[in-house]
Structure 1
């Protein structure tokens, strides 16, 4: 009969989660004074991971029966996965809430908390600040751990006598039989590794970058900064030099690919400059590579702008020219701002390099944010700050996204969220039945056309992902017989029809969807077409839906998450394109305000319409980043931590990151357009996230400085009874970038007979 029962713990009881026997305190240098005991992790009633007790209990304070229990848990944990122990706390969105089962064989009296009572101690994990792990060495035969609490107290050092501990000896024997005494990480096995491994199942720890032996427990950003290496503020700043071709002699073995990559980056005049430099300085083998026709052709191929966007681009260009220099500041204002910001550069290389991203939120850390009932124990802003600066691991991404998209209220309990899931399922089924049971509606031309658009688009969305792949082979394009070029699959653009697949109906029936996940995506989009009748389905929505479905794989939850996402993205798809045009105009003004020199250069290149950013903003960089990077960027943007329009600062970061190359090497519209288009799948997410955050913070400080200058001028003008000449006007578009409220723009009523998007 199993000892696991549903009986609740008493206040005086705990359930042992982990035990290491034969650990010692060394109060003096004499072995005779050593105190042997058990190091344990235990859980009391209604406890979360943060409430787990870390305890040292001397053997002489335990009864024979209790010692037997501690030893049984110690040896038994060798083959036990600690994650199978129910810890209460949050409940997964797709699981039923259930009572916590207690293993009575692990239940013991609560450990003593006072150091004075025979050297025992016990503290909650939430009270621990750091743990120093000292491995066994020639100078310290016994490995040990030093535990520091948040109130500055250092608990007695715990020594692991591995030659006496049954579990350590047994584990070492297993490793020896595997001919691997070092374990998975290549380090010598000892008892402290078992302890840290168990601890990290329950609480977030991060290794200090200053002292690798120190682990910070549930650290915040301040803790990490305090334990980061100090920078030499007086170190000389390297002067930026013009872009140069890499010195090929330093890496001759890889020269072929380096040179090809450099040449492929530029076109027209810039490409010719590079080739001239190669011709003058490169070794003979490299000159031979460059002289090949295939290499000379690199950079000359250029995909012309899509016709359907040309009219829109011209409108943006006209408006940009009308507002030209309106949002640029006078040089004296820039000088004042630069003086206060401490730099003549908008972003120095030092600022970029000294800033770093945090580690992603793990499942253990995410669960530590909640109390026993599943309610947040932190503020929403604290959680959003943590997500913004680190993102979340894939193991909890689905649940976190439901909070970020407000499918789950931030103040809900685990039980309330389970009830919500059931109500969402019911509401979705009711919506779906409206079109399933309406035969008359399904026979209308509009409905048939929308259904066909949806079916056609989902057949070509993210088909490289295993979840969306069919067994049949995908159609490929072969250049020519015997060609060395690999066959390629054509990737459609979200904003324009795919010409190569325009005649797919002649090859297969797009309505015959055999992949079950694509079928559910179709059902979701058709239901959304009915849910939002004015907007309906518009091409590009499949790109927004796909990541949500992959994470949830739950039709009803995916639908409601998609509707929440579309609340903020609907302005990108309205028929008159006013939402996209406004964002592009705002980005144009932001560029003038923050990067005036780059704006002036783009003006010379006839590229101030920022045509190349249309697709990036339309589907939030989904076609420019790798899949995992897209997921990370979206969850960061959903936090609205600084602003609900942080995607514009991310776009500005891309321009800022490439400013030097653009200014020094590109002089024509086609060169700029090709260069920006070629950045697709070559962007480095973390540096851009750092840059975008710094750009926003500097933008906010610039606005504050200008507002202060305006206030001083108004005071002077009032005293002198003169007009407000010299007051700097900051437009509503730029001030709106400081707001966290999501910008909502709904489509107007769709007239009878009007087609879909």
Structure 2
């Protein structure tokens, strides 16, 4: 076993008498070779340890709290000796639902403590509250001395330091911890999206305003009571300078207290109030009166931050509802759940969260749609995690594969790339067919030309040296001189640029009918930057081109189909803008061509492009969600266009100048809401059409009684409603739209 964390002088308080307190060690350990997110949390009482074991754990505590923080071998006898001890426990971190971190009183009136809540109610009752006696804990005392020398009692996260901070840091390095907005003391462990949404400010506030006593799903009644009790405590901390009567008012205003007052005659409520854990609330309220100003200030800052975020969210919420047309009396409306879901893009997939999705064999432990929900509504937190997530999103790794299966697949894909494609062009001899040889050389020239100028602002592509990561000043100067002197005809030395060239040439062999078309280097550059492996990047690119080939067809039919679909979508969803663009001779939306061709790569900063692409790659709502993102750009810019522009060249210039001016997250939120609205409009129109057909069959005349404000037109006549459009119907499908290039012939236009 490996010991990952150790904290001594962590006590269980079985009674209110300090003489009954039981001291022990809080440990986090793991079996060697197992994934870190499978680690076990345990507590061992000091009394069951012999002197040698006690000294070893104290030594381990100090070593693990040092800068090195390397795991140490843990003697299994230490764990075995405590297996039957009173109060001792062990639980997998992944089995925890939440952890409450209750900070200590600055005056020493109470110790800081943590409350562990299991996902299983039966096990939840067996987990004791753990109190951190920081005044006698060696590692905590040492850390406090260091902070005192620095004249800073706060951690890097801004919290006042206590022993629970070390524990929280250790847990956060192994599993994902998310602080809840409404209860800052509560942190969710590997929270599902439903958990995170249950604790969202909007939903929690709605429940509290309604006086609902029903606990959030996943929390026991007692856990919810304690969570709410500590929420009251934070409010009291903000009012320490005020009178005791105000504190009483604060307490009485809380919905749970109102519940008790309103239902005093209810035997169930009386039983609830008689519980010892509830009776402790009064003691806590009395102690809260002596909170120091610094602690109160810290809580107030948290509250102010929440208020700013909450108020901004509410303002943004109202803006979206108004701008997207859902505040009018139309036949389609957002539900609160739909609006909350689109607004909450605060939960990116971290490394810990990603690892928690898989079981011990490396197989997905939840549905693919659930994983895609996480990615769609939060993206991926960092590039290191992306390098693995994108292998799944791009279909290189099957979602139902295990660790072993992916290792075998990895080896097979590398061999296929090296033997079937790369070796073919590296060892290629001139083609005796003069036209074919000329075509091949032209393809190589096009690829090299685009690779040399593509994304040269990114670190791995910037310098044309054999070691692209660490060029010296001379190399940099020589590169600039060389590139200017040879006007682009210089030799590629950068290994990453060479990898781009290799992959594009190999794809030319893989798909000879399509070959290389300008813009494909833009797509590959992003994929390779994230995956950082030539062979795997090739297969990711092959799969990516399954959906993107339609953008590069010789007759441009694929991109034309998307433009026609976007035009219909704009006419349906943004009729005023569509009419104005028609007056500007821009009804064909030509200015959208470049954005759709390479998925907005030239309109946003590179990190934003990665976030946009991984969301589009989920196909969470539609395999053509890029059209709704484009629609969101049109919607977001509709007012300045309609108010100020009236010429084709003005509109074109306006959209060409949008680079680095747009907020991708806002646009993605609008995209989701536009899709939801589109789907509802299509459903309403389809129901209307069915009713009209039924009435027409019964009476022989056409019905006009069903109204749809979004598509009422006196001049419609017998024109089919948009719901019958094949282009628009296809937007509701998650199945990829695949269009292949026709067979290449000698006279094919390139």
Whether the aligned pair in 1 keeps the contact of 2:578 and 2:587 (CA below 8 Å) is yes
Partner secondary structure for residue 439 of structure 1: coil
Query: What's the offset of the Cα at 1:187?
Result: 3.3
Whether the aligned pair in 2 keeps the contact of 1:459 and 1:510 (CA below 8 Å) is no
Of the three residues 371, 378, 387, the one matched with 2:366 is: 378
Query: What's the offset of the Cα at 1:38?
Result: 1.4
Whether the aligned pair in 1 keeps the contact of 2:342 and 2:377 (CA below 8 Å) is no
Counterpart position of 1:205: 177
Counterpart position of 1:399: 388
For the structure 1 residues 753 and 703, does the alpha-carbon distance in structure 2 shift closer, same or farther, using more than 3 Å as the test? closer
Is it true that 1:130 corresponds to 2:98 in the alignment?
A: yes
Deviations 1:195-241 (A, max 9, x none): 000000111111111122221111222222222223788xxxxxxxx
Query: What's the offset of the Cα at 1:753?
Result: 5.0
Partner secondary structure for residue 549 of structure 1: helix
Measure the CA separation in 1 of the matches of 2:719 and 2:575. 20
Measure the CA separation in 1 of the matches of 2:619 and 2:354. 19
Measure the CA separation in 2 of the matches of 1:659 and 1:441. 54
Query: What's the offset of the Cα at 1:722?
Result: 5.5
Query: What's the offset of the Cα at 1:48?
Result: 4.4
Partner secondary structure for residue 159 of structure 1: strand
Whether the aligned pair in 2 keeps the contact of 1:113 and 1:123 (CA below 8 Å) is no
CA RMSD of aligned residues (A): 3.0
Of the three residues 399, 402, 415, the one matched with 1:410 is: 399
Query: What's the offset of the Cα at 1:666?
Result: 2.3
Counterpart position of 1:40: 27
Is it true that 1:456 corresponds to 2:443 in the alignment?
A: no
Whether the aligned pair in 2 keeps the contact of 1:362 and 1:395 (CA below 8 Å) is no
Structure 1 residues 124-523: aligned runs within 5 Å: 124-138=92-106, 140-152=109-121, 153=124, 155-178=127-150, 180-230=152-202, 339-342=330-333, 355-392=343-380, 393-430=382-419, 431-441=421-431, 444-470=437-463, 507-508=486-487, 510=489, 512-523=491-502
Whether the aligned pair in 2 keeps the contact of 1:16 and 1:108 (CA below 8 Å) is no
Query: What's the offset of the Cα at 1:557?
Result: 0.9
Counterpart position of 2:564: 585
Counterpart position of 1:75: 62
Measure the CA separation in 1 of the matches of 2:457 and 2:155. 36
Counterpart position of 2:616: 637
Measure the CA separation in 1 of the matches of 2:188 and 2:103. 17
Counterpart position of 2:635: 656
Q: For structure 1, which runs of at least 5 residues remain unmatched after alignment?
A: 1-13, 86-101, 234-333, 473-503
Query: What's the offset of the Cα at 1:468?
Result: 1.1
Counterpart position of 2:526: 547
TM-score computed with the length of structure 2 as normaliser: 0.73
Q: For structure 2, which runs of at least 5 residues remain unmatched after alignment?
A: 207-324, 466-482, 704-717
Whether the aligned pair in 1 keeps the contact of 2:695 and 2:702 (CA below 8 Å) is no
For the structure 1 residues 111 and 18, does the alpha-carbon distance in structure 2 shift closer, same or farther, using more than 3 Å as the test? farther
Of the three residues 712, 734, 748, the one matched with 2:742 is: 748
Partner secondary structure for residue 197 of structure 2: helix
Query: What's the offset of the Cα at 1:721?
Result: 4.9
Whether the aligned pair in 1 keeps the contact of 2:567 and 2:589 (CA below 8 Å) is yes
For the structure 1 residues 410 and 187, does the alpha-carbon distance in structure 2 shift closer, same or farther, using more than 3 Å as the test? same
Of the three residues 609, 627, 634, the one matched with 2:606 is: 627
For the structure 1 residues 440 and 138, does the alpha-carbon distance in structure 2 shift closer, same or farther, using more than 3 Å as the test? closer
Query: What's the offset of the Cα at 1:46?
Result: 7.6
Of the three residues 78, 99, 121, the one matched with 2:89 is: 121
Query: What's the offset of the Cα at 1:436?
Result: 2.2
Counterpart position of 2:40: 53
Counterpart position of 2:728: 734
Query: What's the offset of the Cα at 1:449?
Result: 0.8
Query: What's the offset of the Cα at 1:601?
Result: 1.6
Measure the CA separation in 2 of the matches of 1:428 and 1:385. 32
Whether the aligned pair in 1 keeps the contact of 2:48 and 2:82 (CA below 8 Å) is no
Aligned residues: 590
- Range that drifts further, 181-190 or 605-614: 181-190
Whether the aligned pair in 1 keeps the contact of 2:49 and 2:78 (CA below 8 Å) is no
TM-score computed with the length of structure 1 as normaliser: 0.73
Deviations 1:310-348 (A, max 9, x none): xxxxxxxxxxxxxxxxxxxxxxxx9999534248xxx99
Whether the aligned pair in 2 keeps the contact of 1:38 and 1:57 (CA below 8 Å) is yes
Counterpart position of 2:650: 671
Runs (4+) off by over 6 Å: 111-114, 334-337, 723-727
Deviations 1:260-319 (A, max 9, x none): xxxxxxxxxxxxxxxxxxxxxxxxxxxxxxxxxxxxxxxxxxxxxxxxxxxxxxxxxxxx
Query: What's the offset of the Cα at 1:562?
Result: 0.8
For the structure 1 residues 127 and 353, does the alpha-carbon distance in structure 2 shift closer, same or farther, using more than 3 Å as the test? closer
Whether the aligned pair in 2 keeps the contact of 1:15 and 1:108 (CA below 8 Å) is no
Of the three residues 104, 109, 112, the one matched with 2:79 is: 109
For the structure 1 residues 588 and 396, does the alpha-carbon distance in structure 2 shift closer, same or farther, using more than 3 Å as the test? same
